[in-house]
């Protein structure tokens, strides 16, 4: 089989993997709160269960990325990570207790660490000019999964039978469904995924032969003058701020069980809700409660809120693709997996801290949004001043390869 066909099949497998990650998030989210209620879980357990998934992914991402950098392979790591997805979703399907449900999301979250390995792999096998397009396609696959996932509940909610000692109903069926999907993905990875050779390494070796010693010294001095460590901070900040804003908005979005859920359907399509818990009748009023319970003369507030969220979320895909692509170009190829793992961990940390930040300021919307705007302005200034100093470490890799050849 030629390399071009291997590359297409490998990219298809990667897209399918991110598609399933989006489906898993969207297919479990609508019923997880009711599922916890059947297990007599307290309301705070919903936040713990959702945060557990991000927390384990936060820790496993840099670890899997470091392993891929050390071994130079990704296929075995992906197969290993998918085993955690299979085990976690099967535990979710069992659902004997609320603690088992919490542990299931914690185990399944470990499997998301393979994402850093994949981003590092894509960085090594794609040219810098094509990298943004490839990253955008991969991220689009996950967004497609977020759209497909809720539709799967149309038939999953009809499940009502026993499978041996296990009960299959509308709450446990999503876990069984995703367990089967990840098992099928394992077979796809085994037969349709290859560890493709790196492109940059070959280019670095060729350039090391053609460059003279004087040019190498000049390049070395340039690299030593600016190693790019400070210039990576705006990119990390953009990752955290984007994830934090998304989780803040999602934590404030009314859930599907809210009496005004029908009037907020458009908002749920823009930003999938993280918290499907309806507000209590005795809950203190806040601007968000006015939005979620809008009736009669308050429709304009709902419209204003939807437009504002839409404009904000509209910019997130451009920021996400640009910062991932740029981050891959200013970090070394040798540590690309670990670097991408750290980047994804920063985003995972933001999705954990975002709801905490929003939950503490439910009665101070202007303070919450004002701080977010101030952070956006600060991030824009940091990126503007440091963008010209961002240098690709390709010269450093070329020098290392020339030393090996010498």
Instruction: Answer whether residue 182 shows pLDDT above 80.
Output: yes
Query: Do residues 382 and 234 touch, judged by C-beta distance below 8 A?
Result: yes
- For CA atoms 340, 341, 345, 346, the dihedral sign is negative
Amino acid 362: pLDDT: 65
Lowest mean pLDDT among 20-24, 165-169, 311-315: 311-315
Amino acid 393: pLDDT: 63
Q: Find which of 132-141, 266-275, 334-343 is predicted with most confidence, using mean pLDDT.
A: 132-141
User: Which two structure tokens, joined as six digits, stand for 86?
Assistant: 């299979």
Instruction: Answer whether residue 208 shows pLDDT above 50.
Output: no
In the chain, % of residues over pLDDT 70:
70
Spatial CB neighbours of 38, under 8 Å, sequence gap ≥ 6: 171
Amino acid 94: pLDDT: 92
Instruction: Answer whether residue 211 shows pLDDT above 50.
Output: no
84-108 pLDDT, tens per residue? 999 999 999 998 899 999 999 999 9
- Domain boundaries defined on the chain: 9-199, 229-273+285-393
Instruction: Answer whether residue 76 shows pLDDT above 90.
Output: yes
Query: Do residues 205 and 405 touch, judged by C-beta distance below 8 A?
Result: yes
Amino acid 84: pLDDT: 96
Region 17-32: what's the mean pLDDT?
A: 91
Mean model confidence pLDDT for the chain: 75
Spatial CB neighbours of 300, under 8 Å, sequence gap ≥ 6: none
Region 362-367: what's the mean pLDDT?
A: 76
At the top level of CATH, the class of 9-199 is mainly alpha
Region 168-186: what's the mean pLDDT?
A: 94
pLDDT band with cut points at 50, 70 and 90 for residue 201:
low
Instruction: Answer whether residue 305 shows pLDDT above 80.
Output: no
Region 335-363: what's the mean pLDDT?
A: 76
Instruction: Answer whether residue 23 shows pLDDT above 70.
Output: yes
128-160 pLDDT, tens per residue? 888 888 888 898 898 888 888 888 888 998 998
- Please indicate whether residue 120 or residue 328 has the higher confidence score (pLDDT): 120
230-258 pLDDT, tens per residue? 444 455 445 445 554 555 544 444 443 44
- Please indicate whether residue 203 or residue 13 has the higher confidence score (pLDDT): 13
Amino acid 74: pLDDT: 92
Lowest mean pLDDT among 32-41, 198-207, 396-405: 396-405
Instruction: Answer whether residue 80 shows pLDDT above 70.
Output: yes
In the chain, % of residues over pLDDT 90:
26
Cα–Cα nearest to 156, from 178, 174, 180: 174
CA 47 – CA 380 distance, rounded (Å)? 31
Which residues does residue 168 pair with via DSSP β-bridges, in sequence order?
Answer: 161
CA 76 – CA 24 distance, rounded (Å)? 22
CA 345 – CA 243 distance, rounded (Å)? 10
Spatial CB neighbours of 25, under 8 Å, sequence gap ≥ 6: 145, 146, 149, 272
């Amino acid at each position: 089989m030629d390399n071009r066909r291997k590359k297409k099949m490998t990219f298809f497998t990667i897209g399918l993997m991110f598609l399933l990650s989006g489906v898993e998030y969207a297919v479990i989210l609508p019923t997880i709160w009711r599922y916890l209620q059947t297990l007599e879980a307290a309301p705070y357990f919903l936040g713990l269960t959702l945060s557990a998934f991000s927390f384990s992914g936060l820790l496993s991402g840099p670890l899997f990325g470091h392993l891929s950098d050390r071994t130079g392979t990704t296929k075995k790591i992906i197969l290993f990570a998918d085993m955690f997805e299979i085990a976690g979703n099967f535990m979710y399907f069992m659902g004997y207790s609320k603690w088992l449900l919490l542990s299931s999301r914690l185990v399944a979250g470990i499997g998301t660490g393979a994402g850093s390995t994949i981003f590092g792999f894509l960085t090594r096998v794609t040219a810098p000019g094509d990298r943004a397009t490839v990253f955008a396609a991969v991220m689009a696959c996950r967004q497609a999964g977020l759209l497909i996932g809720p539709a799967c509940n149309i038939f999953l909610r009809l499940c009502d039978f026993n499978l041996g000692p296990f009960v299959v109903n509308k709450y446990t069926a999503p876990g069984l469904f995703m367990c089967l999907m990840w098992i099928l993905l394992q077979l796809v990875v085994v037969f349709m995924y290859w560890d493709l050779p790196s492109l940059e390494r070959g280019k670095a070796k060729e350039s090391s032969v053609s460059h003279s010693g004087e040019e190498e010294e000049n390049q070395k001095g340039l690299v030593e003058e600016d190693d790019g460590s400070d210039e990576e901070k705006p990119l990390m900040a953009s990752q955290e701020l984007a994830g934090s804003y998304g989780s803040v908005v999602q934590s404030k979005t009314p859930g599907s069980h809210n009496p005004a859920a029908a009037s907020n359907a458009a908002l749920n399509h823009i930003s999938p809700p993280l918290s499907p818990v309806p507000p209590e009748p005795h809950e203190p009023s806040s601007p968000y409660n006015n939005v979620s319970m809008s009736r009669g003369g308050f429709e304009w507030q709902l419209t204003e809120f939807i437009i504002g969220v839409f404009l904000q979320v509209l910019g997130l895909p451009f920021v996400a693709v640009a910062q991932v692509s740029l981050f891959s170009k200013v970090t070394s190829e040798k540590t690309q997996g670990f670097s991408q793992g750290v980047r994804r961990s920063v985003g995972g940390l933001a999705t954990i801290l975002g709801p905490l930040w929003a939950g503490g300021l439910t009665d101070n919307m202007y303070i919450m949004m004002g701080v977010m705007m101030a952070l956006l302005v600060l991030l824009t200034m940091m990126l503007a001043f440091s963008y010209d100093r961002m240098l690709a470490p390709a010269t450093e890799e070329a020098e290392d390869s020339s030393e090996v050849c010498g």
